[in-house]
Chains A and B, each alone.
Chain A
Amino acid sequence: MADNPGPAALTRRVFLRRGGSVALLLGMAVPVAGVAGVKGAASPDGRLQINSFLRIDSDGSVTVQANHSEFGNGAYTIITMLVAEELEVPLSAIRLEAAPTRPEYYSSIFREYLTAGSITTFSLWGPLRTAGAQAKALLIDAAAAEWGVPATEISAAEGRVRAGERELGYGQLVAVAQRQETPLRESVALKAPADFKILGRGQRRFEGRSKVTGEAQFGIDIKLPGMLYASILRCPVFGGTPRDFDASDALAQRGVVKVKAISNGVAVLASNYWAARKGRDALTVNWDEGANTAYSSERFFEEYRVMADEPGMLAEDIGDSRAALADADETVESVYELPYLTHVTMEPMNATARVESDRCEIWSGTQYQSNDQERVAALLGLPQQAITIHRPLIGGSFGRRASKSADFTIEAVEAARGEDVPVQVIWSREEDVRSGHYRPLFVHKLRGAVDAEGLPLAWHQTVVGQSIMQHTKHDPAYMVDGMDIYSLDGCLQEPFGVFPYGTSYAIPHHRVETHNPPKVGVVPQEWRSVGHSHTGVAYECFLDELANAGGRDPFDVRQHLARDHGRMSAVLATLREKSAWDRPLPDGWGRGVAARIYSVTPIAQVAELSVDDAGNYSVERVVCVVDCGFAVNPLNVEAQIQSGIAMGLSAVAGEEIVLENGRVRQSNYHDYPVLRLTQMPRIEVHIVPSEEAPTGVGEQALAPTAPAVLNALFAATGQRIRRLPIKQHDLTLV
Chain B
Amino acid sequence: MYSLTVNGQVHDVDADADTPLLWVLRDFLSLTGTKFGCGMGLCGACTVSLDGRPTRACTLRLSDVGKSEVRTIEALASDGELNVVQRAWLDLDVAQCGYCQSGQVMAATMLLEANPSPDDAAIDSAMSGNVCRCGTYQRIREAVKLAADRLPNAGGDHG
Query: B143 — nearest CB in chain A belongs to which residue?
Result: A212
Take A212-B82, A212-B90 as given contacts and tell me if A346 and B137 are in contact as well, using a CB distance cutoff of 8 Å.
Answer: no
Q: Does B42 contact A (CB under 8 A)?
A: yes
Q: Does A677 contact B (CB under 8 A)?
A: yes
CB distance from B40 to the nearest CB of A (A): 6
Whether the pair A643, B82 counts as a contact (CB closer than 8 A) is no
Whether the pair A346, B35 counts as a contact (CB closer than 8 A) is yes
8 Å CB interface, A362-410 against B: 393-398
Which residues of chain A are near B134, meaning CB under 8 Å?
A: 72, 346, 396, 643, 646
Which residues of chain B are near A207, meaning CB under 8 Å?
A: 98
Q: Does B19 contact A (CB under 8 A)?
A: yes
Whether the pair A680, B135 counts as a contact (CB closer than 8 A) is yes
Take A647-B133, A677-B124 as given contacts and tell me if A212 and B39 are in contact as well, using a CB distance cutoff of 8 Å.
Answer: no
CB distance from B23 to the nearest CB of A (A): 4
Which residues of chain A are near B15, meaning CB under 8 Å?
A: 272, 274
Take A429-B40, A650-B135, A668-B38 as given contacts and tell me if A213 and B95 are in contact as well, using a CB distance cutoff of 8 Å.
Answer: no
Mark each residue of chain A from 58 to 83: 1 if its CB lies under 8 Å from any CB of chain B, else 0.
00000000000001111000000000
Take A72-B96, A208-B95 as given contacts and tell me if A220 and B16 are in contact as well, using a CB distance cutoff of 8 Å.
Answer: no
Whether the pair A676, B131 counts as a contact (CB closer than 8 A) is yes
Q: Does A176 contact B (CB under 8 A)?
A: no
Query: B19 — nearest CB in chain A belongs to which residue?
Result: A274
Among A202, A212, A272, A650, contact of B95 (Cβ-Cβ < 8 Å): A212
Take A348-B36, A429-B38, A669-B43 as given contacts and tell me if A635 and B93 are in contact as well, using a CB distance cutoff of 8 Å.
Answer: yes
Q: Which of B35, B45, B77, B86 gathers most chain A CB within 10 Å?
A: B35
Which residues of chain A are near B94, meaning CB under 8 Å?
A: 212
Take A396-B133, A429-B40, A670-B42 as given contacts and tell me if A212 and B89 are in contact as well, using a CB distance cutoff of 8 Å.
Answer: yes
Q: Which of B42, B91, B124, B135 gathers most chain A CB within 10 Å?
A: B135
Q: Does A201 contact B (CB under 8 A)?
A: no
Whether the pair A643, B42 counts as a contact (CB closer than 8 A) is no
Query: B72 — nearest CB in chain A belongs to which residue?
Result: A214
8 Å CB interface, A603-639 against B: 635-636, 639
> In the complex, how many residues of chain B place their beta carbon closer than 8 angstroms to a beta carbon of chain A?
61
Among A202, A278, A396, A680, contact of B16 (Cβ-Cβ < 8 Å): A278
Q: Does A682 contact B (CB under 8 A)?
A: yes
Take A213-B82, A347-B35, A680-B138 as given contacts and tell me if A205 and B42 are in contact as well, using a CB distance cutoff of 8 Å.
Answer: no
A426 to B27, CA, bound (A): 12
Which residues of chain A are near B40, meaning CB under 8 Å?
A: 429, 668-670
Which residues of chain A are near B137, meaning CB under 8 Å?
A: 646, 675-677, 680
Which residues of chain A are near B127, meaning CB under 8 Å?
A: 677
Among B72, B74, B90, B102, contact of A209 (Cβ-Cβ < 8 Å): B90
Among A213, A221, A395, A647, contact of B77 (Cβ-Cβ < 8 Å): A213
Whether the pair A426, B36 counts as a contact (CB closer than 8 A) is yes
Q: Does A211 contact B (CB under 8 A)?
A: yes
Q: Does B30 contact A (CB under 8 A)?
A: yes
Q: Does A428 contact B (CB under 8 A)?
A: yes
Among A208, A346, A429, A682, contact of B93 (Cβ-Cβ < 8 Å): A208
Which residues of chain A are near B136, meaning CB under 8 Å?
A: 639, 642-643
Mark each residue of chain A from 240 to 263: 1 if its CB lies under 8 Å from any CB of chain B, else 0.
000000000000001100000000
Whether the pair A212, B86 counts as a contact (CB closer than 8 A) is yes
Whether the pair B98, A395 counts as a contact (CB closer than 8 A) is yes
A210 to B105, CA, bound (A): 12
Whether the pair B16, A72 counts as a contact (CB closer than 8 A) is no
A674 to B37, CA, bound (A): 13
Q: Does B33 contact A (CB under 8 A)?
A: yes
A489 to B78, CA, bound (A): 51
Take A208-B90, A275-B16 as given contacts and tell me if A344 and B27 are in contact as well, using a CB distance cutoff of 8 Å.
Answer: no
Q: Does B116 contact A (CB under 8 A)?
A: no
Whether the pair A214, B27 counts as a contact (CB closer than 8 A) is no
A429 to B22, CA, bound (A): 15
Whether the pair A72, B32 counts as a contact (CB closer than 8 A) is no
Q: Does B11 contact A (CB under 8 A)?
A: no
Q: Does B34 contact A (CB under 8 A)?
A: yes
Q: Which of A73, A204, A212, A639 gathers most chain B CB within 10 Å?
A: A212
A interface bracket (residues with beta carbon within 8 Å of B): 35 or more
Which residues of chain A are near B91, meaning CB under 8 Å?
A: 204
Q: Does A726 contact B (CB under 8 A)?
A: no
Whether the pair B105, A212 counts as a contact (CB closer than 8 A) is yes
Which residues of chain B are near A644, meaning CB under 8 Å?
A: 135
Q: Does A717 contact B (CB under 8 A)?
A: no
Whether the pair A212, B97 counts as a contact (CB closer than 8 A) is no
Take A429-B37, A429-B38 as given contacts and tell me if A205 and B95 are in contact as well, using a CB distance cutoff of 8 Å.
Answer: yes
A430 to B40, CA, bound (A): 10
Q: Does A421 contact B (CB under 8 A)?
A: no
A670 to B42, CA, bound (A): 7
CB distance from A430 to the nearest CB of B (A): 8
Q: Does B4 contact A (CB under 8 A)?
A: no
Mark each residue of chain A from 340 to 358: 1 if its CB lies under 8 Å from any CB of chain B, else 0.
0000111110000000000
Whether the pair A220, B33 counts as a contact (CB closer than 8 A) is no
Q: Does B76 contact A (CB under 8 A)?
A: yes
Q: Does A678 contact B (CB under 8 A)?
A: yes
Take A212-B89, A213-B77, A678-B128 as given contacts and tell me if A395 and B138 are in contact as well, using a CB distance cutoff of 8 Å.
Answer: no
Among B34, B45, B82, contact of A346 (Cβ-Cβ < 8 Å): B45
Which residues of chain B are near A643, meaning CB under 8 Å?
A: 96, 134-136
Among B27, B37, B100, contact of A272 (Cβ-Cβ < 8 Å): B27
Among A212, A426, A639, contact of B96 (Cβ-Cβ < 8 Å): A639
A212 to B132, CA, bound (A): 14
Whether the pair A272, B138 counts as a contact (CB closer than 8 A) is no
Which residues of chain B are near A211, meaning CB under 8 Å?
A: 95, 98, 101
Q: Does A218 contact B (CB under 8 A)?
A: yes
Q: Does B54 contact A (CB under 8 A)?
A: no
Query: B95 — nearest CB in chain A belongs to which residue?
Result: A211
Which residues of chain B are near A678, meaning CB under 8 Å?
A: 124, 128
Mark each residue of chain B from 112 to 146: 1 if its CB lies under 8 Å from any CB of chain A, else 0.
00000000000110011111111111111100000
Query: A209 — nearest CB in chain B belongs to which residue?
Result: B90
Take A208-B90, A346-B35, A429-B40 as given contacts and tell me if A71 and B97 are in contact as well, using a CB distance cutoff of 8 Å.
Answer: yes
Whether the pair B131, A214 counts as a contact (CB closer than 8 A) is no
A210 to B93, CA, bound (A): 12
Q: Does B158 contact A (CB under 8 A)?
A: no
Which residues of chain A are near B33, meaning CB under 8 Å?
A: 213-215
Q: Does A645 contact B (CB under 8 A)?
A: yes
A213 to B26, CA, bound (A): 15
Which residues of chain B are near A209, meaning CB under 8 Å?
A: 82, 90
A642 to B142, CA, bound (A): 13
8 Å CB interface, A103-118 against B: none
Q: Does A38 contact B (CB under 8 A)?
A: no
Among A221, A274, A344, A636, contact of B20 (Cβ-Cβ < 8 Å): A274
A273 to B27, CA, bound (A): 7
Whether the pair A347, B138 counts as a contact (CB closer than 8 A) is no
A429 to B45, CA, bound (A): 12
Which residues of chain B are near A74, meaning CB under 8 Å?
A: 96
CB distance from B10 to the nearest CB of A (A): 20
Q: Does B148 contact A (CB under 8 A)?
A: no
Which residues of chain B are near A202, meaning CB under 8 Å?
A: 93
Whether the pair A346, B32 counts as a contact (CB closer than 8 A) is no
Query: A681 — nearest CB in chain B belongs to which residue?
Result: B138
Among A204, A347, A674, A682, contact of B131 (Cβ-Cβ < 8 Å): A674
Task: State the 10 A-B residue pairs at the shortest beta-carbon distance, nearest first.
Answer: A214-B33, A646-B135, A395-B99, A211-B98, A72-B97, A72-B96, A214-B73, A680-B137, A272-B27, A221-B32
A-B contact pairs, 17 of them (CB 8 A): A204-B91, A212-B86, A212-B89, A212-B90, A214-B31, A214-B32, A216-B98, A220-B32, A221-B32, A346-B43, A347-B35, A395-B99, A397-B97, A639-B139, A642-B136, A642-B139, A650-B135
Extra 4 A-B pairs, beta carbons < 8 Å, given A254-B16, A668-B40: A274-B15, A345-B99, A395-B35, A675-B135
Instruction: State the B residues within 8 Å of A (CB).
Output: 15-16, 18-20, 23, 26-28, 30-40, 42-43, 45, 72-74, 76-77, 82, 86, 89-91, 93-102, 105, 123-124, 127-141
